[in-house]
Amino acid sequence: MGSALAAGAGNEWTTPAGNPQAMRYSELASIHAGNVGTLVEEFSVATGTKGGHQGQPLVVGSTMYIVTPYPNKLIALDLNNPGTVKWTFSPRVDAYSRGVACCDTVNRGPAYADGKIIYNLLDDSTVAVDASTGQQVWRARHGDVTTGETLTGAPIIAKDKVIIGNAGGELGIRGWVKALRVSDGQQVWKAFSTGPDSEVLIGANTKPWYAKDRGVDLGVTTWPGTTWQQGGSTSWAWFSYDPALNLVYYGTGNPGVWNPDMRKGDNKWGSSIFARNADTGEAAWVYQLTPHDGWDYDAVNESILVDLTIKGKTRQALVHFNKNGFAYTMDRATGEVLVAEKFAYTTWAEKVNMKTGAPAVVKAMEPHQGEITNGICPSPLGGKDWEPSAYSPQTGLFYVPAINFCNALEPLKAIYIAGTPFMGADIAFQPAPGGYMGELVAWNAATGQRAWNVIETLPVYSGVMATAGNLVFYGTLDGHFKALNATNGQVVFDKQLECGIIGSPIAYSAPDGTQRVAVYTGIGWLPGGFAGGPCPAGGGFGVQGGDGMRSPLAGAIAQLPTARGKTTPAAATSGMLHVFKLP
């Protein structure tokens, strides 16, 4: 079957990644490598919240929509009067969710469909709001937030459905993905990540490419006893959609608990990529990237859908940069791995076996209870974390926000108590070779090779956007908003902002017909550990940080000599939206 991929985003930005294929590419080109250096700030708006601003705004017509971290306000801005608020929707969000959210009270943004802005709330709810009036259309509650289940991910629209996934794997939550009707929020299907095939929605039409992923009820039999019931594998980040194949693509998080000795076996379907029929939820194929994941490598990072020429043949490709350090180029119709190469410094595995699809794990890098394993690379932050990459059809390159860390890992015994951390690991970060913490990598997914890279002092935790102006935009934790020449990586724009950036840039056409670029600032708790503390000060809540609660990651970050004394720019009282234009 053929596949007709959409172009990049045009005058609007109506879905989290710009188009359903997660390219994060704008067709706008009036801002280009020759004039981007003259960009000026048109306006900025305070969001009124201090947590990590991981998402991106939407632009529909002449209105921009902002979703904040907890308490998840939706702010509509009138682009005819830049910086003017049209209305604010303030949902009632259970404050209990602040204390059980894993790693800050973030939100990765809304989606738009049928006159509605649809987004997730931290307290395990999804809400649809009338895009014109700001009135609630429907609200769907999914579970009990006191168990630790939250929602932080960005939804995606697939025809008349909105697809969402849960969070809370570090609290023993069992992962799931749901399809809701856009019209009224009613559930159409629900697929768990662990458990029997009937609940994972693996059926007669499910055709995994590799033998290791075939079998009956592997979501049960690859776990000891009933541990799959607290098996994590949540889908808390990004989705993509191919309308011609009618398949939704997403990844699952690491299997819980972190201690791999407590869950012997492959632990399916943790750290896996699913392709599902958007109408029924039945899996077309599934591929487990990191069986028995003992390193917190997940598979929740975005899957970018493009058509690539590989070895002289045009392939319907899916490109995925995993936390485990490997870049996977796959056939998105079948799940076959076409290319798998290291894009980051990696010691836990030598390679991916292209016949079996399994990683060649280095035995000395397997963590076990009662032992400290040093030199595991990448660290639990990944060679790349949730922050999304971009693809430019102009250059044929992918632009990857990368992290350069190793770690020492000691698995610990953990006891499951609902609503409390269920991790079972002690972590100490260690420097990776090179003496830097992050980089922006330009990657050729057809060959599995780097084209070029730009070194950054700190981890690159922002998303990336490519444009038809031959530009790549991203931000840094110490507050630099940058544009690079997409061909060679030359820095052609660098603006210092008041706080660091973990949001994703967007581009749109303003009512006057000229191009704009927008991005959030506000890094919250976890990335703030690399930059001298949260910015805005006091930002960050959740079971893994903030409110005085200590996390294994907090201690690990504090041990890094380059982390201490590294400060963010001038103090701020709120996260911000910044919008730039040509003079």
Q: Please count the CA atoms within 13 angstroms of the CA of 84 that sit on its side-chain side.
A: 8
296 is catalytic: yes
Are 9 and 16 within 8 A, CB to CB? no
User: Token pair of 498, please?
Assistant: 């008041």
- Select which of 296, 298, 385, 478 is catalytic: 296
Cβ neighbour number for residue 276 with a 10 Å cutoff = 27
User: Token pair of 570, please?
Assistant: 């001038």
Cβ neighbour number for residue 201 with a 10 Å cutoff = 19
| Number of alpha helices (DSSP H) and beta strands (DSSP E) in the chain | 4, 38
Residues in binding site: 108, 152, 170, 234, 254, 296, 323
Q: What is the DSSP pairing of strand 506-509 with strand 515-521? A: antiparallel
User: Token pair of 66, please?
Assistant: 């902002």
Residues in binding site for Ca(2+): 170, 254, 296
Cα–Cα nearest to 24, from 321, 245, 261, 438: 321
Cβ neighbour number for residue 37 with a 10 Å cutoff = 12
- Cα 194 from Cα 456, distance rounded (Å): 38
Eight-state DSSP code of residue 229: G
Q: How far is CA 539 from CA 50, 253, 557, in A?
A: 4, 25, 17
Show the 3-state SS of 123-185: CCEEEEEECCCCCEEEEEECCCHHHCCECCCCCEEECCEEEEECECHHHCCCCEEEEEECCCC
Residues in binding site for pyrroloquinoline quinone: 108, 152, 234, 323
Q: What are the catalytic residues?
A: 296
